Amino acid sequence: MSAPPIPARKLRIATCSLAGCFGCHMSFLDIDDTLADLIDHIEFDRSPLTDLKHVSEEGVDIGLIEGGLCNRENVEVLHEFRARCKILVAVGACAMYGGVPALRNGIPVADLLHEAYLGANLLNPQVPNDPELPPLLQNVLPLHEVVTIDVTLPGCPPPAAAFRELILSQLQQRPMVLPPEARRFD
C-alpha cells in the first residue's frame, strides 16, 4: 500500500538549544534524504538557521527544544516557547531528563565555579561576573519540571526518522507513532 499523500500545508517551526550540545539540531537540520520531501512543508521561525532571537508573537505550530535548563535565561526562553508554540516538543535526553549537563547536580554551584575558574595553574584566575551572564540554577532541570510538554522525542540524539514522524503526524493530523529505531537506546 502506498504512503498517504502529504497535505499541502506548511508548519511553522521554532527551535532552540538550551543546555544541549546541538547534536539534536544536527540530527534535524541535516535534513538528510529521510526528511528531504518535507522541506516544502516547513518554514522556520526562531532557529539557528534564521538567527531570530524570539519566537514570533503570532505563534508557531511546533517548538523543538533541545537541552535542559541550566540557567535563568534558559527558563525565560522556555516560557516564551511555551506561550507561543501550539505543540512544544522536548527533543532528546537532555531536554527530557537533564542528560549529561545534569551530572553536575548534587555539586554546589560555588564549588563548580571554583573548580572551573579558580583551579590551580590558571593564569589570572577569576570567576566571570559580567552582568549579562545569566545566573546558574542550582540544578540542571528537564523541561517538564517547569512547563507542560506536549511531545517527547527520545534519543541522544533522536534519529531523523523521529523528526519525520513528528512532522508527518502533524501535517496529517494523526497521532505520532515513533519508528522502532527511535525507541531503543543501545
Residues paired with 157 in a beta bridge: none
Q: Does 92 bind ligand SF4 (CB under 6 A)?
A: yes
Nearer to ligand SF4 by Cβ, of 89 and 171: the residue is: 89
Q: Does 100 bind ligand SF4 (CB under 6 A)?
A: yes
Q: To the nearest whole angstrom, how small is the minimum distance from the Cβ of residue 49 to ligand SF4?
A: 17
x/- binding map, residues 49-88, to ligand SF4, per CB under 6 A?
Answer: -----------------xx---------------------
Q: To the nearest whole angstrom, how small is the minimum distance from the Cβ of residue 92 to ligand SF4?
A: 3
CB 68 within 8 A of CB 101: yes
Which residue stretch of 18-26, 73-81, 140-148, 167-175 sits at the interface with ligand SF4 (rule: CB under 6 A)? Answer: 18-26
First to last CA, the chain: 31
Q: Does 159 bind ligand SF4 (CB under 6 A)?
A: no
Nearer to ligand SF4 by Cβ, of 11 and 143: the residue is: 143
For residues 114 and 65, give the distance between their C-alpha atoms in angstroms, rounded to a whole number.
30
Which residue stretch of 7-15, 19-27, 140-148, 165-173 sits at the interface with ligand SF4 (rule: CB under 6 A)? Answer: 19-27
Q: To the nearest whole angstrom, how small is the minimum distance from the Cβ of residue 180 to ligand SF4?
A: 19
Write out the residues near ligand SF4 by the rule CB under 6 A.
Answer: 20-21, 23-24, 66-67, 92-94, 99-100, 156-157
